[in-house]
Amino acid sequence: MVEELPTALEQKSAECSVERKKSLRARYSYGIIFLLTNLSAWFIRDYGQKVFPQLQYLESCGIEGRDCFHTMGVLRVSLGCFIFFLLMFLTTFKTSKLDEASSKWHSRWWKLKFILLIVSLAVPFFFPSDFIHLYGELARVGAGIFLVLQLISVIQFITWWNNYWMPDEKRKPSCFLGLFMSTLFYIASMCGIVLMYSLYAPTTSCSLNIFFITWTAILLVVMMAISLHSKVNRGLLSSGIMASYIVFLCWSAIRSEPATENCNAQKQEKSNVDWTTVLSFLIAICAIVMATFSTGIDSQSFQFRKDKVQEEDDIPYKYGFFHMIFSLGAMYFAMLFISWNLDSSARKWSIDIGWASTWVKIVNEWLAATIYLWKLIFPVVRQTKVMDHEETTQQIHNSALP
């Protein structure tokens, strides 16, 4: 009996190890599904009318199938992807242990889930166009929520990286490397600012671009100053990484301006598609998938309790949160493919181009800087309030004494 107990524990441990590996591998399978759905949305938008002329016979697709291609086609595919991951969320969000049936559903049964995916993608093509348009309005909100969650995840990662390279007497080499990397990030940020002025603000008539770039430079200086303040003292690494990130967002926003703008020296109106356009498009799709994937597996950044001990049979990441992020990501990629505009169709092989896209990215940049600055200032504000409260309590206590 004594010998059977360790054997049973070892068997359970081995089973948990196998289930954990399947669970971790399942993340990449869902990532591939999300990538293929992205490509399907693009294909329906740009080539669906030529390849699938049969869809025009569906009543829901309207005259000549207009409501099933281009912008409406993207929204229908996005809705199908949203339905699939919403169903996965509803069936797994309560999962906590690897031996639960919902955990096995998350990691196995791929043939059944493939059928579920096909049905989920097909059903929206039978919905009336008014319903799809309503989904498009809701998708704007969902995409905005996705961007906020992504920002929090990115800032949490930057904070972790900064803490890892914080000065430590026991790790002098890592301290030197951290200082080197912070300097490198700031140099890259400064070079990015100068480059954007030369490429996207060649004349004083480009006032909007000048405003975008100048405000980004101001945010960069403010973040550096607050990080080095004696009461904050968070070092230069996190602010340097964040500076590079907001410079990237500013560059991405200006690049999203319509091709007809004269202030964009590198963008010319082209009727043909060259290899750089295709490569940029594919990189953008991969970036969408990576952003969704990295945010989906980062459930720890959104936990209120950080002190919970991980047990051997606990799931390695929150399945419900993972699928929720992918369902919001479905709304996000739809907005990128239609440039956040429900009433016009984007050019072939284009993604996230237009004034709506530009302003979404600019607001995203400002929000990122605001959240980061708040994370720097909040501990100081909270400490000051605690000290004031303690002083007030002490004064009341002293005045009460005879």
Amino acid at 344: S
pLDDT class for 269, splitting at 50, 70, 90? very low
Percentage of the chain lying above the pLDDT 70 cut: 77
Cα–Cα distance for residue pair 141/332, rounded to 1 Å: 9
Contact 316, 23 (CB under 8 A): yes
Q: Which of 2-11, 199-208, 357-366, 389-398 has the lowest mean pLDDT?
A: 389-398
Contact 180, 225 (CB under 8 A): no
Contact 156, 301 (CB under 8 A): yes
pLDDT on residue 274: 54
Q: How many CA atoms within 13 Å lie on the side-chain side of 117?
A: 17
Q: Which residue has the tokens 């202030």?
A: 263
Q: Which of 286, 321, 326, 337 is nearest to 82 (CA)?
A: 326
Which of 47-51, 171-175, 176-180 shows the highest mean pLDDT? 47-51
| C-alpha angle 311-97-31 in degrees, rounded to nearest 5 | 105
pLDDT class for 290, splitting at 50, 70, 90? confident
Q: Is 354 a residue whose pLDDT tops 90?
A: no
pLDDT on residue 88: 92
pLDDT on residue 1: 47
First to last CA, the chain: 71
Q: Is 381 a residue whose pLDDT tops 90?
A: no
Angle between helices 4-51 and 110-122 (to 10 degrees): 30
Q: Give 278: exposed, middle or buried? Use CB within 10 Å, 0-12, 13-18, 19+.
A: exposed
Tell me the pLDDT tens digit for each residue of 113-135.
999 999 999 999 889 888 999 99
Tell me the pLDDT tens digit for each residue of 184-219.
888 999 999 999 998 888 888 888 999 999 999 999
Contact 90, 324 (CB under 8 A): no
Q: Is 261 a residue whose pLDDT tops 90?
A: no
Give Cβ neighbours of residue 84 (< 8 Å, ≥ 6 apart).
33, 116, 117, 120, 121
Cα–Cα distance for residue pair 52/69, rounded to 1 Å: 9
Q: Is 400 a residue whose pLDDT tops 60?
A: no
Q: Which of 137, 138, 127, 141 is nearest to 67 (CA)?
A: 127
Cα–Cα distance for residue pair 30/322, rounded to 1 Å: 10
Q: Is 307 a residue whose pLDDT tops 60?
A: no
Q: Is 18 a residue whose pLDDT tops 70?
A: yes
pLDDT class for 359, splitting at 50, 70, 90? very high
Amino acid at 338: I
pLDDT on residue 95: 83
Please give the backbone phi and psi of residue 2, each rounded to the nearest 5 degrees, phi first: -70, -35
| C-alpha angle 369-159-227 in degrees, rounded to nearest 5 | 60
